[in-house]
Structure formats: C-alpha cells, structure tokens
C-alpha cells in the first residue's frame, strides 16, 4: 500500500476525474460494440474538440482571477470569418490572414481588458456586450453566407502528421516518433526530479516508485500512440492535437512556474491581499482577457479549417462548453482554484460524452440533457465536499493546492508525484 501511495501520491482520490474519464472511454467502447476506442474515432474526438479545449485553456485563467468570458464563441466566429474574408475577398496570403486574425483577437481581448481593468466593469458584463457585438458583426460582414478557406487552413484544422511508413512498424512513424519522444521526456523529467530531491537532502526516497510510475504512464502513452498511428493510410495524430498539446505545455508552465502565473492565482484567491503584496491587479486582468480572445481567435481559425469554410453561425454556444470543461476540471466559481491540466481532463470528459452518446445513437437533445446533469452533479459533489470540511475531490485533480479550498493564493502541479506544493511567495514583477 505504501508503494501505491508513493507511485500515485499520498491520496489516490486526487485522480477521480482521470479514473472517470477512463471509465467513460471503456464503458462507451463496450456499449457501442467496440467503436469508441478506434483510430478513426479518437482522431475525430481530438480534432473535433480541439477548438473547445483551446478555449478552455484561456477560460480557466479568466475564471481563476474571478471573472468569466461570455464572448469567446462570438470572438472565435468573428475572427474566423474575418480570416476567410481576408483571403477570399482581399486576396491576402493565407499566412498573413492568420497572423492578422490572431492580432484581431488580441485587440478584441485588449478592448475587453480595458473595460475591466481601467473602468472596473465586471468581466461578465463586458463580455456579454462583446458576445452581442461580435455575433452581430459576424452576420453583418458575412452577409449570412459561408466563405470558403484554402487547403492550407484546412490542413491546420483537420490535417495529420506527415505520412512516414508504415514499413516494418506497421503504423505511421511520425506518430510513433512523437510517442517515443513523449515517453523519453517523461522518463527524463521523473528521474531528474527524483535526483534533485535526493540532492536537496530528502530522505527515504526510493527509485522504485518512480520507475513504476514511468512504466505505467509510458504504457498509456504507448497505447495512445498505437491507437493514433495504426489507422487507415494517410491518417495519424491530428495537427490540431499537436497545436493543443503545445499550448497545454506552454500554459501549464506559464500558470504554474512563472511569477505571472502566481499573480493570477493570488488575484483570484484574494485580490486585496495580492494588491498589498505588490501585484498589479489591473495588469493581470488586462493580460488574462487579452490572452482569452487571442486563444478564441486561434480556436476560430482551427474550426474554420476543419469545416473548410467560415459560417455566420460559427461559435454559437462554444463559451458554454469551455466553461463546463473548466468547472468539471475543478475550478472554483469564486476564483483562485483551477489548473490547465485538470481543465483538459474536464474537457475530454465532455468530448467523450459527446462522442460516446453519438455512437450509441442518442440524439443531440438528450445529449445536452445528460451533459447538463453531469456538469451539475460534478460541481454539486465538489461543493458538498467543501461544505463538509473535506478537501475538494474534483479540485485535487493533478494536485490543486489545499484540495480546492477557496482563498488559496496559488496552485501548482508537481509532475514527480502529483503532490501538493507549498504556496509560493507572492512577489512583485
């Protein structure tokens, strides 16, 4: 039992949502007659939900600082349509159109951020107005018609890693190489962390749990690699998935390993105390809102690429899926709690529900009902645990500081054993 605790951390219950995700995947696979865990379905699951997961990365930062952004779907639809029109009507090269689209998203985020940080208008009101404005602008500039995009953007939204193989491996070797690289980085990270702890003088550390942990996670990565790389010829790990993975790494480091990330959690945990500690609260609000619309622009471009055309109704309801992913991932409504990694688990839970229910022939209406109850049950269970004085089960996914208790200044993810890290000291830039 002691070895298990050393492998998975001091409390195995912190993996509740991860276990729930695995149970959903296996359950739907059995219920659908083996159609869930197939190469084509998991490829579609990632590429078809990448845009929502990208929105969720930005949304968790907004919610952690104590606000909410209702405009992300409209901003995504507006920027996607702007990129398509720039290429189709203005004759812009596709890459210039993408750069301008991302800049447009950043400008919209700066607009929202100014209202929030300088004028004190709550993010809910600011972005509600933005939702109306940019939804109307999307329909206005498009003339209520769809606008096609070139193959290069289509590749970004639904392409795959280059075909290489299969040869003797029997699978796409680009995906195989990506999986081997992921396992190598994992092993290096775990072992180097263990050596650092030993060098720091920690006693009672055994290398055996580290090796077991590496082997277990490597086995999961190997299976996922095989799943993505053994599909029909011409398919592999989706390009939107590669973009998503890179963003998760970047934003995990940003939120958990930088001063700015600590400031985000400090502002969300206690704005007044953060300000007294020297944190520029207005700057944090401004940058978080700017980043959110930037990611919304990227999500809109990827969706347009997958759909092969920008439509006047793109983005409708996307903000609700992103918000649901964040709260299922354990974020606190009052702010201060939430991680990118846990949000990805929450988003994958919602994506798995969509895919599994569709495979079982459940209609869109019933799917929405089920997803609503899942969201309500997850948050209610989390709140119940807090009201009983117990650590938040959902909030502890990937080791949230204080088990999800409110008022925490900072959260951190410890990759070595998913244990809770001490609250970092808040310092001014």
DSSP 8-state class, residue 316: T
Q: How far apart are CA 411 and CA 358, in angstroms?
A: 36
3-state secondary structure of 242: helix
Read off the tokens for 224. 């996922």
Q: How far apart are CA 35 and CA 60, in angstroms?
A: 32
Q: 321 and 156 in contact (C-beta within 8 Å)?
A: no
Per-residue model confidence as pLDDT tens digits over 291-348: 999 999 999 999 999 999 999 999 998 999 999 999 888 888 888 888 998 899 999 9
Does residue 175 register a pLDDT over 80?
A: yes
Cis peptide before 166 (omega within 30 of 0): yes
> What backbone phi and psi angles, to 5 degrees, belong to 148?
-70, 160
> What backbone phi and psi angles, to 5 degrees, belong to 238?
-65, 145
Does residue 425 register a pLDDT over 90?
A: no
Q: 64 and 265 in contact (C-beta within 8 Å)?
A: yes
Per-residue model confidence as pLDDT tens digits over 35-88: 999 999 999 999 999 999 999 999 999 999 999 999 999 999 999 999 999 999
Averaged pLDDT, 395-404? 41
Q: How far apart are CA 353 and CA 346, in angstroms?
A: 11
CA distances from 129 to 99, 225, 254, 296, 324 (A): 25, 43, 29, 16, 21
Per-residue model confidence as pLDDT tens digits over 210-258: 888 889 889 999 999 999 988 888 888 999 999 999 999 999 999 998 9
Q: How far apart are CA 174 and CA 238, in angstroms?
A: 11
Q: 73 and 316 in contact (C-beta within 8 Å)?
A: yes
How many CB atoms lie under 10 A from the CB of residue 249? 12
Q: How far apart are CA 414 and CA 396, in angstroms?
A: 12
Q: How far apart are CA 139 and CA 143, in angstroms?
A: 6
- Domains along the sequence of the chain with CATH: 2-159+238-404 (1.10.3470)
Averaged pLDDT, 186-201? 85
Residue 54 burial (10 A CB sphere; 0-12, 13-18, 19+):
buried
Q: Give the mean pLDDT of the chain.
A: 84
């Amino acid at each position: 039992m002691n070895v298990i605790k050393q492998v998975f951390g001091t409390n195995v219950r912190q993996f509740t949502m991860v276990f729930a995700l695995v149970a959903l995947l296996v359950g739907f696979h059995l219920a659908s007659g083996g159609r869930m865990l197939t190469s084509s379905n998991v490829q579609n699951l990632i590429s078809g939900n990448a845009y929502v997961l990208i929105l969720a990365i930005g949304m968790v930062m907004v919610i952690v600082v104590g606000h909410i952004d209702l405009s992300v779907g409209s901003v995504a639809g507006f920027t996607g349509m702007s990129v398509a029109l720039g290429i189709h009507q203005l004759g812009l090269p596709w890459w210039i159109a993408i750069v301008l689209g991302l800049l447009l998203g950043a400008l919209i985020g700066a607009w929202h951020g100014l209202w929030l940080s300088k004028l004190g208008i709550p993010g809910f009101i600011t972005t509600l107005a933005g939702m109306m404005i940019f939804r109307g602008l999307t329909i206005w500039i498009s003339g209520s018609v769809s606008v096609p995009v070139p193959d290069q953007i289509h590749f970004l939204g639904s392409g795959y890693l280059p075909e290489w193989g299969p040869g003797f491996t029997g699978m796409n070797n680009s995906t195989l190489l990506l999986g081997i690289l992921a396992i190598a980085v994992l092993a290096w990270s775990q072992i180097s962390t263990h050596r650092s702890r030993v060098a720091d003088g920690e006693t009672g550390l055994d290398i055996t749990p580290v090796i077991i942990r590496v082997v277990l996670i490597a086995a999961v990565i190997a299976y996922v690699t095989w799943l993505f790389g053994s599909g029909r010829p011409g398919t592999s790990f989706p390009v939107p998935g590669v973009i998503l993975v890179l963003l998760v790494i970047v934003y995990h480091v940003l939120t958990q390993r930088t001063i700015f990330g600590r400031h985000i959690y400090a502002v969300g945990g206690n704005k007044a105390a953060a300000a007294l500690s020297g944190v520029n609260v207005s700057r944090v609000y401004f940058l978080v809102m700017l980043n959110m619309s930037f990611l919304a622009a990227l999500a809109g471009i990827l969706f347009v690429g997958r759909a092969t055309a920008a439509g006047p109704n793109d983005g409708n309801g996307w903000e609700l899926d992103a918000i649901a992913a964040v709260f299922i991932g354990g974020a606190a409504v009052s702010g201060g709690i939430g991680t990118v990694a846990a949000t990805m688990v929450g988003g994958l839970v919602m994506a798995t529900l969509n895919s599994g229910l569709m495979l079982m022939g459940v209609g869109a209406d019933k799917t929405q009902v089920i997803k609503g109850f899942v969201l309500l049950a997850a948050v209610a269970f989390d709140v119940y645990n807090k009201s009983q004085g117990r650590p938040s089960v959902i909030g502890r996914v990937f080791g949230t500081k204080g088990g999800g208790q409110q008022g925490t200044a900072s959260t951190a993810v410890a990759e070595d054993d998913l244990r809770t890290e001490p609250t970092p000291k808040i310092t001014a830039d």
